[in-house]
Amino acid sequence: MALRNITIRGDEILAKKCKPVKIITPRIKEACADMVETMKAADGVGIAAPQIGIMKRFFIAMPHVDAEDEETRDKIYYMINPEITYTEGTQDSSEGCLSVPGYMGLVERPYKIRIKATDLDGKEQEYEFEGFEATVFCHEYDHLDGILYSDIAKDMMTVEEYSELLEEVKELHEDDEADNEDIWALRHKGSAK
């Protein structure tokens, strides 16, 4: 396993559509292992092949960051030739990206999805996700079609601005539950301080 360089916004590779994986080769498996290491080192929850310069349709995701038990929290999904087969509802999500460092964006995503893909063992898998987990899978899936979240975001701000507003919202609510809508609304109303 090795850390890979992460492709940054502005590189044309991130705007191209990826080609399907025909055979799960040792090189694909090695790339997936490297992607896990690279994602974890960068504190990400997902990474797609084009983000490390590979124009194939696969990504990995580790979306259960808030899970109580370690096994669920550390679960990694290997998604080769994924296809979103069902969506339901909508949600506005605050998103960042390893390929768009230093920024957060407000993106409308499906609230619930069903996604199927081949795993590293060549077996077809199907999953249902909602909320944050659905956002992670949609975000990574978009990379395979040459779409960055910043291309479709309703609004953008720096990570520093986002962190400051998050703290203000927590203070206003006097708890740790900061609502996503409150953060973006506060930005447009101006700081409460």
Alpha-carbon span 37 to 56, nearest angstrom:
19
**What percentage of the chain carries pLDDT values higher than 70?**
95
| Among candidate residues 32, 50, 21, 67, the one with its CA nearest the CA of residue 141 | 50
List 140, 161, 171, 177, catalytic entry: 140
- Could you give the domains of the chain? 12-153 (3.90.45.10), 157-193 (no CATH)
Does the predicted TM-score (pTM) go above 0.85? yes
Q: What is the dihedral of CA 161, 108, 64, 46, to 10 degrees?
A: -80
The predicted-structure confidence for 148-185, as pLDDT tens digits, reads as follows 999 999 999 999 999 898 888 888 777 656 677 888 88
**What pLDDT score does 192 carry?**
47
Catalytic status, residue 140: yes
**What pLDDT score does 14 carry?**
98
